Every structure is written in structure tokens, then in C-alpha cells.
């Protein structure tokens, strides 16, 4: 079986506004300075823990981290769909990939509960064969543990499968799993980062994914 594994934030959905709003809300609530929204392009993508450490002032304590983390987790879960939307054209492309016989999965560093909620709300039922976010005790991408678990659960052949993402982390994830990587330029990171991280292919709009997987 052939599969395509997708990163979520910055690849399937533009969630930057909600992520930034949630972080800045809890920062201001605790007397910290908020960050400009565009700065979150480089804060997100490495899992919730690294996001919280990134937004806190240097030298912050573990106690401060835990407090902000719990407040953020609760607030974001309640507000994760305020501004978040799928990228234009992505739904149609996913349907066509499905028609071509690909198994489709989401593999995200976003916590699993958040990932499941967002995908269920924004995408048609049955479009994805599997949605997998980060779970406690599981290493975040680019560690291959979660993508390999997903491939095994799908019964997919890595040699016939792809990983699609918008960051260097995603390209390294593909490499660590033995998958062909497709970098997308409509997300949070730059084309230069994708190339430097070894992207097998780079696409500028969702419909180009169809051309890549035909090769």
C-alpha cells in the first residue's frame, strides 16, 4: 500500500493566528510581554513544550513553564478554531489523492487531542485514514517513532510513501523514516529551509502534489 503522511500546522491548515493568540493571551495574563504574530512562524512546529519555552523569557523557571503550559493547553483547545482554516485548494487535492489510491494520514507534533479536534472540524469524514498527534511519552518529530507507528498501522510500504510538510523538521522526519519528502512553500517556514533540510521535492500550491506523486 502507498501512503502520504501530512504535517498539520502550516501544511494542511493555517493555524498561526490561533496559536499566536493563545500564547499571547496566557503571556499577558501572567504579566509577560506578547510576541508579534509573525514571530510564531519560528516558534511553532516542534511540539507544545518547545513552543512554551520559546515564548517565555530566557531563564524562566520550570514552575513558570508548567503554569503557562497548562493555561495555554486549556485556552488553545477552546480557541483552536477561531481563525484556523485549511489552505485554499488542499481539500480538493486530498480528495484526488484518495481517488488515486493513496492512504492519507496526519502526523503532527501538536498534542493528539488538539490534532483530532481540528481535523474533525475542518475536513470531511473519512478523508484521512489516520490522524496522529503527539502523545505523552512519545518523542516529537523529527524522531521517526510516530510516523513509523502510523505507517505500520496503515500497512503502508515506506518505499512507496511520502511525507509532506512545511518545515525542516518535516524534511528530516521523512529522511529518518526512509520516506520521500515534499516541502510546501505556503506554510510557516521558508523554501530555503526546506532545501537545506533535504527536501526531495518542493511545491508551491496543493495541486502540484498530484504531479509529484505521479513521477
User: Which one of 7, 18, 21, 170 is the catalytic residue?
Assistant: 7
If asked whether residues 21 and 95 sit together in one domain, one would say no
If asked whether residues 58 and 123 sit together in one domain, one would say no
If asked whether residues 174 and 97 sit together in one domain, one would say yes
If asked whether residues 75 and 92 sit together in one domain, one would say no
Whole-number pLDDT of residue 183:
99
If asked whether residues 206 and 155 sit together in one domain, one would say yes
Please say which residue of 30, 56, 79 terminates a domain.
Answer: 79
If asked whether residues 115 and 185 sit together in one domain, one would say yes
Whole-number pLDDT of residue 95:
98
Reply yes or no on whether 211 is catalytic.
no
| CA 76, 79, 83, 86 torsion-angle sign | positive
If asked whether residues 111 and 172 sit together in one domain, one would say yes
Q: What CATH number has the domain bearing residue 106? A: 3.40.50.1000
Whole-number pLDDT of residue 112:
97
If asked whether residues 99 and 71 sit together in one domain, one would say no
Mean pLDDT by 10 residues, the chain (215 residues): 98 98 98 98 95 97 98 97 98 97 98 97 97 96 98 97 98 98 98 98 98 90
Q: Which are the contacts of 93, defined by CB distance < 8 A and separation ≥ 6?
A: 206, 207, 209, 210
If asked whether residues 158 and 204 sit together in one domain, one would say yes
Which domain does 56 fall in, by range? Answer: 16-79
Whole-number pLDDT of residue 203:
99
If asked whether residues 194 and 118 sit together in one domain, one would say yes
User: How far apart, in Å, are the Cα atoms of 134 and each of 45, 89, 153, 179?
Assistant: 12, 26, 16, 20
If asked whether residues 140 and 119 sit together in one domain, one would say yes
Give the pTM.
0.96
If asked whether residues 95 and 144 sit together in one domain, one would say yes
- Specify the number of domains making up the chain: 2
Furthest CA-CA distance within the chain: 53
Whole-number pLDDT of residue 215:
72
* Best CA proximity match to 115, nearest among 3, 2, 8, 5: 8
Amino acid at each position: 500500500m502507498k501512503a502520504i503522511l501530512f504535517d498539520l500546522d502550516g501544511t494542511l491548515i493555517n493555524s498561526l493566528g490561533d496559536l499566536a493568540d493563545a500564547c499571547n493571551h496566557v503571556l499577558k495574563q501572567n504579566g509577560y510581554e506578547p510576541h508579534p504574530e509573525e514571530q510564531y512562524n519560528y516558534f511553532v512546529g516542534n511540539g507544545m513544550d518547545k513552543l512554551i519555552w520559546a515564548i517565555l523569557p530566557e531563564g524562566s523557571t520550570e514552575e513558570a513553564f508548567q503554569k503557562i503550559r497548562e493555561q495555554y493547553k486549556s485556552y488553545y483547545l477552546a480557541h483552536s478554531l477561531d481563525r484556523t482554516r485549511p489552505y485554499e485548494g488542499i481539500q480538493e487535492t486530498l480528495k484526488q489523492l484518495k481517488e488515486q489510491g493513496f492512504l492519507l494520514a496526519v502526523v503532527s507534533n501538536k498534542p493528539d487531542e488538539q490534532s483530532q479536534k481540528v481535523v474533525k472540524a475542518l475536513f470531511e469524514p473519512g478523508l484521512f485514514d489516520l490522524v496522529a498527534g503527539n502523545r505523552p511519552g512519545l518523542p516529537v518529530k523529527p524522531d521517526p517513532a510516530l510516523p513509523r507507528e502510523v505507517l505500520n498501522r496503515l500497512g503502508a510500504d515506506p518505499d512507496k510513501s511520502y511525507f509532506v510538510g512545511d518545515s525542516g523538521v518535516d524534511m528530516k522526519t521523512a529522511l529518518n523514516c526512509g520516506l520521500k519528502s515534499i516541502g510546501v512553500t505556503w506554510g510557516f517556514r521558508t523554501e530555503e529551509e526546506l532545501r537545506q533540510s533535504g527536501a526531495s521535492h518542493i511545491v508551491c500550491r496543493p495541486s502540484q502534489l498530484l504531479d509529484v506523486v505521479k513521477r
